Amino acid sequence: MDPLLQQAEISRKAGDLARAEVLCRQVLEREPRNARAWFNLGAIQAAQGDAAGGIESYRHALELDAGLAEAWSNLGELLGAADDKAGEIDAYRRAVGANPQLAPVWSNLGNALLEAGRAGEALAACRRATDLDPDFAAGWNNLGNALHASGKDEESVAACERALKLAPELAEAWSTLGAALHGLGRLEEAVGAHRRAAAIQPEVAHHPFNLGVALRHAGRYAEAIAHLRRALALDPGHAQAHWDLAFTLLAAGRFPEGWEQYEWRWHRSSAGARRYEFTAWDGDASKPRRLLLWAEQGIGDHILYGSLLTDLASSPMRITLEVEPRLVSLYQRSFPQLAVIPQRDSPADPRDFDCQAPLGSLGRWLRTTFESFPRHRGYLTPDVKRAEAYRSRLTGDTGVRLAGIAWKSANPEFGAKKSQSLLDWGQVLKVPGARFVDLQYGDTAGERAEVERQTGARIDHLPDLDLRGDLEGLAALCAACDVVITASNVTAHVAGALGRPVWLMAPQGGGRIWYWFAGRSDSPWYPSMRIFEQQVRGSWRETLDAVARELADFVTGPRAVS
């Protein structure tokens, strides 16, 4: 190696970056095609905080010598920091192509692939890293992360334990272990793991954040709030921490604080842009202004927050409600005082309105205490003729009790925690005197056939009704039922908004949404609802047994007035 370049490397590694840069540039003046000098200059620039210069220098080095694995690796790190995910992955792949024995680079490649949503490839890369270096603690942690993201939490726990055996103070491994334990429903152990991570790295915001989320799912709201606030003290712009703090405060009934934090929902990385940005409504309903209200989030949220419209319907304001097209006719019938329009790709013209508000923001003015929730008997009005036709079609004049059932949620994040297998409903479906009708959206033919084959229980299904696309039809069918028994999904909201008797099966832990308020068997949002809370986390047997007993009493009891 050139003696001058050798001195530059020694200076760089000793932290004397200014001298190292001078020496590197002297070498490059004499030898502009010296790949090693360009590599060192890139490393110096990166250490000085000049990421763009570092990227440019590394690229010069690699143009001259594509076999410099370390340059590819360092380039990958800088591209990842610059949010060039494709470039980062490509650089790491080239690094291990040049030197397949680099365990840390395989591990970094796995992380990059995981962040890009390519969990299968990430797993393979992380396994390669630990195969190459079984004593690489950070590699075992990264493998644990990839396993957790792939839903392999038992294996993730084992990988994290291996990492912690090698490096007991590796905070990130404690954090990953907490995530895997959380995924397994072992919440108290998850809390302990996240607490340990926070103790090792007290100034890193995501540790108290993770601890706060685990505590919230464990129902320990006061502690959760304290740790989420700690995360925000460390990182005030942590949008997800604001979001989880909102849920925790609202679930604890601390509505004014909760609604304030709820406004942070627009800042999360997964959130779309606000549909309208013109003058925000100030909450004063006494003035005759033209107010545009617009639905947001999922269909369940559209319906839940629709209850807030009852507070405004008689105000002097001229209100236009923009809602998901499948709900337009239902809302037009239910709120004739409002102008209801479908939410299209092209937004409404702001010049037609004085102010606007998303439906989810109305709570901060209209639901500030539990006492502010009205004891309504339903605020959505179904198509009565259609409901009567469904009732006649399913029960005739037999007087049988009609129970509508739904057992799954399609929520991509925690739908599995809210869902049951239809086969687990055996005791419910055997209750004499009840006739069951399918309210579950999606293709249920296979599940219904298997239940009938194994138990003899028959569930009626209306093949001409699209329960996902025809929400008017879903509402009419719910209205035709004597009782609706459902998982936490859209069906629960529709039945509750109609004021029909609805029995909701709510999970413990992460799948329980804040607005079901843990520990309650009633719903302030839907007075006709009864909540059957999961007794054992991860098991629906006890809950379904309780539902079966209640249904047996309901079938033989006095008929409710429709």
Q: Quick one: pLDDT at residue 560?
A: 55
Q: Quick one: pLDDT at residue 561?
A: 47
* Mean pLDDT (the chain, rounded): 94
What is the model's pTM? 0.88
Q: Quick one: pLDDT at residue 169?
A: 97
196-208 pLDDT, tens digit per residue, is 999 999 999 999 9
Long-range contacts of 392-399 (CB under 8 A, 24+ apart): 393/462, 394/435, 394/437, 394/460, 394/480, 395/435
Q: What's the mean pLDDT in 431-438?
A: 95
> C-alpha 376: how far from its chain's center?
30
Q: What's the mean pLDDT in 349-361?
A: 96
Instruction: Please check whether residue 318 is in contact with residue 290, taking contact to mean a CB–CB distance below 8 angstroms.
Output: yes
Q: Tokens standing for 211?
A: 């601890």
Closest CA to 310 of 298, 299, 300, 321: 321
Report percent pLDDT > 90 for the chain.
Answer: 84
Q: What is the Rg, in whole angstroms, of the alpha carbon atoms belonging to the chain?
A: 29
**φ, ψ for residue 396, nearest 5 deg:** 60, -135
- Reported confidence tier of residue 479, pLDDT bands at 50, 70, 90: very high
Answer with the residue of higher pLDDT: 231 or 28: 231
Q: Helix count (H) and strand count (E) of the chain?
A: 26, 10
Whether 420 has a pLDDT exceeding 70, the answer reads yes
155-208 pLDDT, tens digit per residue, is 999 999 999 999 999 999 999 999 999 999 899 999 999 999 999 999 999 999
DSSP 340: E
- DSSP lists the bridge partners of residue 353 as none
